[in-house]
Structure 1
């Protein structure tokens, strides 16, 4: 009752707040919302509003100083942006759409995410922004600061007659697992495609064409430029030591494939098992499971031809987990996937804290070779439960090797009773069941679920 009385007395419109935040309607609304939920702080908000108004009045009465520029050239011209704002050429590099000098740009780049169109790829000088410019209107469509890029992947595009590569830019809080701080929008990933050929429209910041070195492809050039400007990571490519599909690339005979086809719900995509994590792409939204965010991985619906992969992910700053299922994976790739998962200890939830603590080359500047060494260390870490299971399996294998099926039946029934024959039949049946169970377990791996015999 006391709260209701206070809330009812809160003014719907406060002249002090109206005056202070007249130019910031969104901020003003947030202030009113805060007062509505916590009316006991209305005096505090009024004091803040009065102080804000005094600062505005003080700045308004101060003489306007001319903007100091470092060049003697003409005054910076302003241009109109799509959102109606204007920026000058003299603005700092903190503005994505500012006309800052370029280090590198490449025309006619085919983007797939967040927009599907051809744009000019730009990298501003001083490890500034990675952005995309409209080739007709010359406006900046989207971009991201280099310091905000968490992962960069260079992956072969599956099922294409001509070899192509997708560059995937995954920003901080844009991996589909980690959520941004409250009040901030989650940034979108960026994906563009380059062909496996020489760079024909790549230029340095001064407009000089580059990428004409012998044997240098556009993929090599872009990867090199990115590595020179990235601050938190390096470009990661598929590694045969990590995973390679049992089925070669169907559209380019004799070429190895580094992906497996899978479904997330009704959406078809590709899983790439990399040295720093697992990517599901390439359609929106992309999902990247960095090792530090993987709690555990298991298998479900293991059938004769397909199986499902269940990944339990845990955000870096949260204890809440989410489980994502990828279905209809070809059984031919089970062995390779299972080896990859065990190599990095991803099947064991008890190792999740160790992965988060060590951060295997995620966001680091280590090479792919160092990443492989870290993975070998992860293989050596074994829980007590796993160790006990392995020793038990080894003991069972030794017993089977020492077993001689003819040693108990050399005598041709001298004095054997019908009860002894019945016991021998039961033992034979149990041995057959154990052999069938061991066969399924060896074929499907330690993480496979028990499935009914009629499904095998």
Structure 2
């Protein structure tokens, strides 16, 4: 005689009639299985309950930010699970816009794109190829195993340039996932264990979609760090460690611009967005890099002095201290005529760079020395024995020569490496 079927089973499997019949048949053959299937059904119902309450709020929060904003802008053919992918990469670890493993899929068609697919086959987030601004493949620093982060930046998702009004409440977010190189037994003979094949597949799709984009890798010709990598001797590093506020991250100086990653908020400074570059808080071992953009200054602190030369060469190579060049680049990007600056105008004068053959760091140090020389010229040893009134006049003169009259104390602190700061000078 068939045993009674627990109510939980009927509720849990009501969406799959055939599976429910199989569960009933299994219980009928062995009544001892009833408890097991009831527990399984209870677990399924609890999971369903959670996904309709707490995860829904999390999903809604993601939609309100950027995750599904990318999907919403993508064509329905891309967000539909019925559209077959050209390439699939299961078990990929994403960090933005969600920190979770998904199947990465590339849809190879003009209205296709890149998307992350969940275990249930639904598209979690996506970006159409037509909406891709840049794709980067950057090594993850300080890892024992070689890892690379792929970054897909959608248009208006660089975190730097002004966002159109209709996207200000939910600008599109980048998509970031990690590729870990195969090692040991996982290496397939004849196959590249690195990120090359995945990058080539993405490049193929970008070409198929009619874009002129490619996957950008770091290059030694653009920048390479002068700091040896202790965890991987003899290997080049293409990053600079720094801080944006209290958050630690890495700067990459690429052929198309400067990338800050890998935690939120990720930022990409293309050459057209950088109005000028300056160096501040110059100490014996570190300095700060300030990138001036249309929306304000962005400062990256505690950068090792060892990498100053390479960074400054990069800045000079791409003319990032020339405001007029930045305007011309923006105009070219927007396909409009660049603004003409008056040679003797106020803005033009501010954008001029002294043609003295010095780097900005050397120029800052030279100005400090000039201030100290000025202080020595103003100093009159005979004034020490004069009246109080004369002493006051001397102090006033010193105050005009340098701010606060602290030049001697400042010089002493800097020479002894006590962490005193020199003012940077923006070009």
TM-score normalised by structure 2 residue count: 0.59
The answer to whether structure 1 residue 102 and structure 2 residue 102 are counterparts is no
Distance change in 2, residues 1:356/1:312 (3 Å) = same
Query: How many Å separate the matches in 2 of 1:149 and 1:232?
Result: 10
Segment drifting more, 147-156 vs 176-185:
176-185
Runs (5+) with no aligned partner, structure 2: 1-51, 61-74, 334-349, 359-372, 378-408, 416-427
Query: How many Å separate the matches in 2 of 1:384 and 1:258?
Result: 29
Deviation at 1:161, TM superposition (A): 0.3
Deviation at 1:452, TM superposition (A): 4.5
Deviation at 1:251, TM superposition (A): 1.7
**1:299–1:308 Cα contact (<8 Å) kept:** yes
SS in 2 for 1:336: helix
The answer to whether structure 1 residue 389 and structure 2 residue 372 are counterparts is no
Q: How many residues align?
A: 276
What's 2:22 paired with?
none
Match of 1:115 among 94, 98, 106: 98
**2:92–2:102 Cα contact (<8 Å) kept:** yes
Aligned-residue Cα RMSD (Å) equals 3.2
SS in 1 for 2:165: coil
SS in 2 for 1:126: coil
Q: How far does the alpha carbon of each residue in 1:344-396 deviate from its partner, in whole angstroms, 9 at most, with x for none? A: 1112223212333455xxxxxxxxxxxxxxxxxxxxxxx995474349xxxxx
Aligned residue runs from structure 1 range 141-180, under 5 A: 141-180=124-163
Query: How many Å separate the matches in 2 of 1:170 and 1:243?
Result: 21
**2:240–2:251 Cα contact (<8 Å) kept:** yes
TM-score normalised by structure 1 residue count: 0.55
Deviation at 1:181, TM superposition (A): 2.3
Instruction: Tell me which stretches of 4 or more aligned residues in structure 1 moved more than 6 Å.
Output: none
SS in 1 for 2:79: coil
SS in 1 for 2:157: coil
Match of 1:189 among 151, 174, 181: 174
**1:155–1:166 Cα contact (<8 Å) kept:** yes
What's 2:301 paired with?
327
Distance change in 2, residues 1:284/1:328 (3 Å) = same
Query: How many Å separate the matches in 1 of 2:79 and 2:163?
Result: 19
Match of 1:228 among 179, 197, 204: 204
What's 2:314 paired with?
340
What's 1:253 paired with?
233
What's 2:262 paired with?
282
Query: How many Å separate the matches in 2 of 1:277 and 1:169?
Result: 14
Query: How many Å separate the matches in 1 of 2:232 and 2:238?
Result: 13
Deviation at 1:244, TM superposition (A): 0.4
Deviation at 1:95, TM superposition (A): 5.0
Distance change in 2, residues 1:386/1:216 (3 Å) = same
Distance change in 2, residues 1:312/1:118 (3 Å) = same
Distance change in 2, residues 1:298/1:102 (3 Å) = same
Distance change in 2, residues 1:95/1:222 (3 Å) = closer
Distance change in 2, residues 1:196/1:386 (3 Å) = same
The answer to whether structure 1 residue 272 and structure 2 residue 252 are counterparts is yes
Query: How many Å separate the matches in 1 of 2:77 and 2:162?
Result: 23
Deviation at 1:215, TM superposition (A): 4.1
